A = this chain, B = another copy of it.
Amino acid sequence: MFNKRVKIKELLSQEPQEQEVTVMGWVRTFRNNQFIALNDGSTNNNLQVVLELGKFDEETLKRITTSASLKITGTVIPSLGKGQKLEVKASTLEILGDSDAEKYPLQPKKHSLEFLREIAHLRFRTNTFGSVFRLRHALAFAVHKFYNEKGFVYLHTPIVTASDAEGAGEMFRVTTLPFDNPPRNEDGTVNFKEDFFGRSSNLTVSGQLEGELGATAFGEIYTFGPTFRAENSNTARHLAEFWMIEPEMAFCDLEDNMNLAEEFIKYIIRYAMENNREDLEFLAQRLADEEKQLPQDKRSELGLIEKLEFVLNNDFERITYTEAIDILLQSPAYKKKKFQYDVKWGIDMQSEHERYLVEKHFKKPVIVTNYPAAIKAFYMRQDDGCEPGKETVAAMDILAPGIGEIVGGSQREERMDKLMKRMEEMHVPAEELWWYLDTRRFGTVPHAGFGLGFERMVQFVTGMGNIRDVIAFPRTPKNCEF
C-alpha cells in the first residue's frame, strides 16, 4: 500500500517532467504557509513542497509543524529556488502524524552534541547524525564487500564466552544466578556450575582466538561483531560496547598482515568517498565551521576530505617500535620535556607519544611493528635473534591522525613449544585453551590477523571527535539508556 512512495534521494536525481509522485517524510521547516522542506532520511537534502495559496484549509496548515509526518501527492516541476532543480507542487496533503512544536526537543537551531546525546533516539533526524549514520552504514557494507571479494569467510564468533584467557581487558559477567542467595559450594564460593552455562561466563573482548580456529580451516576468515570492555573509562575514545572487525589469515606473516590492513582501510575509505560524497561534504563543512571557533594553531591543516584523499594517495609509514622510540628521544618535544610520560625502550607508548609520531613527525598513518614482548599478548609471534632483555614480537599497530590506535594485530605464535613456554610465563592456563592449542598440534601454519575498531574508523572518516557520536546508542559507565 505504501510501496508507491518515491524516496526523496531518488526523486532529487530525476528530471522535473510534471510527473505525478507520492512522497512521505517529516517536516523540517514550513515557510510562509507555502513552502515545506520535507525530509525522509534518505538524504540530508530536503524536498521542497509547494502548497498553492488557498488550496489547503487553515486547520491543516496549522498542523504542518517541525517533525510532523506528511503524505503528499503532487507534480514534479522545475524549481526557481537556489540549490534545487526541482520541487513538488502538492495536489493532496495528508497529515500522518502531528508534532507539538512546543514540545519537540529538536528545535530548528544548532544543538550541542552533548545535548543530542541525551536524545539519541531523535538525533538521527538531524543533518549531522543523518550523515554520520549513513556513512557508518556505507563503511560497514564496504567491510563485507572487501572481504567477500577476497574470499574470506565471515565467521560469527561467540559473544558469551567462558574463556577469560586473552587478558585484553576487564570483562562483564553474564549470569542468570540470583544475587540473593546464589548457589554455593561447600567452601562458600559461588557455584557457577549452577549458572546457565554451567560455568562462569563473560562477554567477549575479542573473537580472535576463535577466529584462529576458523582461519586454520578456511584459510581466511573475518569477524564483525560487538566486543566489550568493563573499564571505567569515561573518555571521548572509549566505549563499553563497540564493534570490531577481526580478519585472521593462515599462510600469512607480519608483512602480508600490514599489506592487508592498509589495503582494507583504503578500500573502505574509497568506498565512502565514492558512494556517500554528499554526506562527507556536509560533515567536512561542519568540521570546518567547528574549527573556525579554534585558535589558528589548533585547526587541522587539511579539511576532512583532503585528509581522506591524502590517506588514499600515500603509503602508510612503517617503522619498528625501536625506531619509534628513537624518534621520540630525538624529538624537540622530548628535549623540551613536553611529554608528560617518560620515553624509553620498553614503555607502552602513551597517547601523547603516538600523536607526536603521527600528527607532528610523519603527518600520516603510521604502522609501528615489533613491540617489546613484555607489553604484548601471549599469542604474538616471538621475533628470532633478539638481544637478551630486548625481546620483541611480530606485532603491528596502526596509528591514525586524530584517533590514535585504530588497528592492533600481529603474526601469531605458531610454534607449539614457544607458545607453551610463553603461556606459562604469563600465567595463561593451557588446559582452558586446549582447543586453541590443537591448531598448533595438528598441522600448525604461519598465520596472522588484526582487529580494527569500527567506531574509531567511523570517527576517522566522519571527523567526529567523540566516539559516542558515531554509535547509535553508546554504552559507557553509568549509561545504558535507550
Q: Which residues of A contact B (CB under 8 A)?
A: 1-3, 5, 7, 9, 24-27, 40-42, 67-69, 71, 96-100, 103-104, 119, 121-122, 124-125, 130, 133-134, 136-137, 140-141, 144, 148, 151, 153-163, 170, 172-177, 179-180, 182, 190, 196-199, 201, 203, 210, 213-214, 217-220, 225-226, 228, 230, 232, 240-241, 243, 250-253, 255-256, 259, 414, 435-436, 438-446, 471-473, 475, 477-482
CA distance A158 to B162 in the complex (A): 22
Q: Chain B contacts of A157 at CB under 8 A?
A: 472-473
The answer, among B125, B225, B439, for a CB contact under 8 Å with A121, is B439
Most buried by B among A130, A157, A159, A210: A159
Instruction: Assess the B141–A154 pair: CB atoms within 8 A.
Output: yes
Instruction: Assess the A2–B162 pair: CB atoms within 8 A.
Output: no
Given contacts A151-B7, A472-B158, contact A174 B173 (CB under 8 A): yes
CA distance A30 to B385 in the complex (A): 36
Instruction: Assess the B219–A40 pair: CB atoms within 8 A.
Output: yes
Most buried by B among A144, A182, A414: A144
Q: Chain B contacts of A26 at CB under 8 A?
A: 443
Given contacts A174-B203, A203-B174, contact A41 B121 (CB under 8 A): no
Instruction: Assess the B443–A210 pair: CB atoms within 8 A.
Output: no
Instruction: Assess the A444–B97 pair: CB atoms within 8 A.
Output: yes
Shortest Cβ distance from residue A445 to the other chain B in the assembled complex, whole angstroms: 5
Instruction: Assess the B176–A172 pair: CB atoms within 8 A.
Output: yes
Q: List 27 A-B contacts (CB under 8 A).
A: A2-B256, A3-B259, A24-B250, A41-B220, A41-B250, A67-B442, A68-B443, A100-B441, A121-B213, A121-B438, A122-B438, A125-B217, A136-B156, A140-B156, A156-B226, A159-B203, A160-B203, A160-B240, A170-B176, A175-B175, A179-B182, A196-B232, A196-B240, A197-B240, A197-B478, A213-B482, A214-B472
Given contacts A97-B414, A179-B190, contact A197 B153 (CB under 8 A): no
Q: Chain B contacts of A67 at CB under 8 A?
A: 442-443
Q: Chain B contacts of A7 at CB under 8 A?
A: 151, 219
Shortest Cβ distance from residue A447 to the other chain B in the assembled complex, whole angstroms: 9
In chain B, what residue has the closest Cβ to A198?
B478
CA distance A174 to B196 in the complex (A): 13
Q: Chain B contacts of A443 at CB under 8 A?
A: 26-27, 67-69, 96-99
CA distance A190 to B180 in the complex (A): 8
The answer, among B99, B158, B472, for a CB contact under 8 Å with A473, is B158
Instruction: Assess the A24–B438 pair: CB atoms within 8 A.
Output: no
Instruction: Assess the A444–B41 pair: CB atoms within 8 A.
Output: no
Given contacts A25-B219, A97-B444, A159-B241, 7 further A-B contacts (CB under 8 A): A1-B256, A41-B153, A97-B414, A121-B436, A122-B217, A124-B213, A160-B480
Shortest Cβ distance from residue A376 to the other chain B in the assembled complex, whole angstroms: 21
CA distance A440 to B98 in the complex (A): 9
The answer, among B198, B251, B471, for a CB contact under 8 Å with A24, is B251
Shortest Cβ distance from residue A5 to the other chain B in the assembled complex, whole angstroms: 6
CA distance A92 to B232 in the complex (A): 54
Given contacts A41-B217, A213-B124, contact A3 B256 (CB under 8 A): yes
The answer, among B99, B203, B442, B471, for a CB contact under 8 Å with A442, is B99
In chain B, what residue has the closest Cβ to A170?
B176
In chain B, what residue has the closest Cβ to A2?
B251
CA distance A198 to B42 in the complex (A): 36
Given contacts A157-B472, A443-B97, contact A130 B217 (CB under 8 A): yes
CA distance A137 to B151 in the complex (A): 10
Given contacts A155-B472, A179-B179, A259-B3, contact A480 B226 (CB under 8 A): no
Given contacts A24-B445, A153-B134, A482-B435, contact A158 B241 (CB under 8 A): yes
Instruction: Assess the A196–B96 pair: CB atoms within 8 A.
Output: no
Q: Chain B contacts of A201 at CB under 8 A?
A: 480
CA distance A104 to B69 in the complex (A): 64
CA distance A459 to B242 in the complex (A): 29
Q: Chain B contacts of A203 at CB under 8 A?
A: 159-160, 174
In chain B, what residue has the closest Cβ to A209?
B482
Instruction: Assess the A153–B133 pair: CB atoms within 8 A.
Output: yes
Instruction: Assess the A176–B230 pair: CB atoms within 8 A.
Output: yes
In chain B, what residue has the closest Cβ to A217?
B124
Q: Chain B contacts of A225 at CB under 8 A?
A: 225-226
CA distance A478 to B42 in the complex (A): 45
Given contacts A97-B444, A439-B121, contact A480 B151 (CB under 8 A): no
